[in-house]
Every structure is written in structure tokens, then in C-alpha cells.
Structure 1
């Protein structure tokens, strides 16, 4: 027993030093844990804001239901967008017009050619030729920017102009 007390007296400074270092380490660990708990509590309060007396499982279930509803709404909106986009592509989008004098004996630029094309360059070229005694209108279908009918210079011009507006 005397040996143990003597060893303790000789090593007491070292033992006290080690215990002080352990206390410092434990205090640092405690402050780190308090900070982590505060962060976790803050996140928990954000998660459960506006909810009273619900357990976390019910809360997560309600959030998952909301996510499912939003996904369904998103799919519906995407389908509607695709339908609208498809309709818009078929609307007239590229238009060009040129007025000109078809005959020298007619006063003003009363004749015209107009190209009316959708986004796929499908549509029509309409030409109206005005003369003193009569006026004639022609419509020539356009498929992907090409007419299967011969086009006049003015019609070619408005077609190329309308196609280039894309």
C-alpha cells in the first residue's frame, strides 16, 4: 500500500495534467455538440413550421403527398405545353409581302405576292395581279418551303424572304 501511495505522489502531477487535458477535450467536445444540436434543432423547426402535435412520420408523409401532387401537376402542365407548342408551330409565323406593278400601263403598285408560312415552312403563296380590265388571284401551296408549281420572280422573292425569317 505504501508503494502505491509513493507512486501516486511521484506521478500525481502527470495524472492531474492528463485529467486537465481530458477535461479541456471534453469541454471542447461539449461545445461542438451544443452547436450541432442547435443547428439540428433549427433545421427541425424549419421542417415542422406551421405544424402542431404531428410526429415526424406524419409530417414526412404529408410532404411526400405534396410532392406527388406537384409531380402530377407538372406532368399535366408539360402535356398542355406540348399541345400548345404543337398548335403554335402550325400557326402562321413567317409572312412576307411584296407589291409591284405587273403591267406598265397600270398606275401604281397594285399587284402583290404574299407568302404565309407556318414554323415548318408549310403554307401558301398568294398572288394578285391587277390589270385595267381584270384582276386575277392565284394561290400556290408550299410544302417545307418548296412549291410544286412554277413561281414568278416576285413569288420566289416572298417565299425566300418568309423562309429566311425563321
Structure 2
């Protein structure tokens, strides 16, 4: 123990200078830590406040509500799309017109057959036969491209053209 006390007495000024240097280093580190903590604190406060002054929790709740509202709008749009698609499938999408001369004594191709079909080839064919003294019009229902009524060659051709030349593609 005497040896330690003698050592401290002999080198006391070196020990004091070492402790002072160590204290200065610790003070500098404390100042740097305070500056960094202050910088982090400012960033945290900026993060916790939105551009409108709301805190982060309120912003997250508001964004979640907006996402939920957007999903509801999306579901409504999807339902409307399905409804429109179902109606579109039933609407006239394919048609064809075939003009011809029904009688040799009539000089032009004034007779016609018009096929109007939906996506499932359901619809009707209208035929107008023009003669010199009279004109007659027929309408025949079509289901899946076929009719339960006898079809003329021109009506069959109009249906064939309509089924092969779709006017609306999916």
C-alpha cells in the first residue's frame, strides 16, 4: 500500500493531467451526443407531425379510412362492370346485311336479310323481299345461331357472316 501511495505522490501531476484530458474528452463526447440527440429529436417531431399538423397516428388512421373507402368504391365499380358486362352480352354485338335480287324481273338487289345477334348468337334475322307490285318483311328469332323457322339461303348467309365477323371483341 505504501508503494501505491509513493507512486501517486511521485506522479500526481501526470495523473491529474491525464484525468483532465479524460474529462475534456468526455465533455466533448457529451456535447456531440447532445447535438445528435437534438437532431434526432427534431426529426422525430417532424415525423410525428404531418403537413397539416396531425400526428402520425391520426395520419395512419385517416389513410386506413381512405383505403377502406377506396376499396368500397372499387367494389361498387366492379359490381357495375359485371352488370354492364352481363347486359352487353345480351345486346346486339354482331350483325350482317345481305342484299340480293329476289325476283328476276326486278332490276336491282332491293331485297335484303339482316342478322342481328348477341354474344351467344341469339337475336333475330329480318328479311325484306322486294317485288315489283309488293314488298314483304319477315322477322325470325335466332337462338345459338339457329332458328326453329325455315331460313332462306340469304338468311343463313347473313347469320353466318354475323357469327364469323364479330363487331365487339372481348
Q: 2:50 touches 2:59 (CA, 8 Å); kept in 1?
A: no
Q: CA deviation at 1:107?
A: 1.1
For the structure 1 residues 143 and 48, does the alpha-carbon distance in structure 2 shift closer, same or farther, using more than 3 Å as the test? farther
Note the C-alpha offset of 1:51.
Answer: 3.1
Distance 1:147 1:49 in 2: 68
Hey, what's the Cα distance between the residues in 1 that align with 2:50 and 2:121?
55
2:111 maps to which residue?
A: 111
Cα offset for 1:162? 0.3
For residues 129 and 57 of structure 1, the distance between their equivalents in structure 2, rounded to whole angstroms, comes to 76
Cα deviation, 1:71-112, whole Å, max 9, x if unaligned, reads 111111111111112222222110100110001001110100
The corresponding residue for 1:85 is 85
Return closer, same or farther for 1:48/1:68 CA change in 2, 3 Å cut-off. farther
Partner of 1:71: 71
Q: In the alignment, is residue 137 of structure 1 matched against residue 137 of structure 2? A: yes
**TM-fit CA distance, 1:48:** 6.2
Residues 49 and 55, structure 2, Cα contact 8 Å, conserved in 1: no
Question: 1:50 offset after TM fit, Å?
Answer: 2.5
Q: Partner of 1:108: helix, strand, or coil?
A: coil
Aligned residues: 129
Structure whose CA Rg is larger: 2
Worse-matched range after superposition: 146-155 or 84-93: 84-93
User: Is the CA contact (8 Å cut-off) linking 2:124 and 2:139 kept in structure 1?
Assistant: yes
Q: Within 2, Cα distance between the matches of 1:50 and 1:116?
A: 59
2-structure distance, mates of 1:82, 1:48 = 43
Partners of 1:137 and 1:64 in 2: CA distance: 63
Q: Distance in 1 between matches of 2:159 and 2:49?
A: 63
Q: Is the 8 A contact 2:95 2:117 kept in 1?
A: yes
TM score, norm. by length of structure 1: 0.69
Q: Counterparts of 1:1-40 in structure 2 under 5 Å?
A: none
Partner of 1:20: none
Q: Report the counterpart of residue 98 of structure 1 in structure 2.
A: 98
The equivalent of 1:120 in structure 2 is: 120
Query: Shift of residue 56 of structure 1?
Result: 2.1
| 1:55 to partner: Cα distance | 2.6
Q: Which runs of 5+ in 1 are unaligned?
A: 3-33
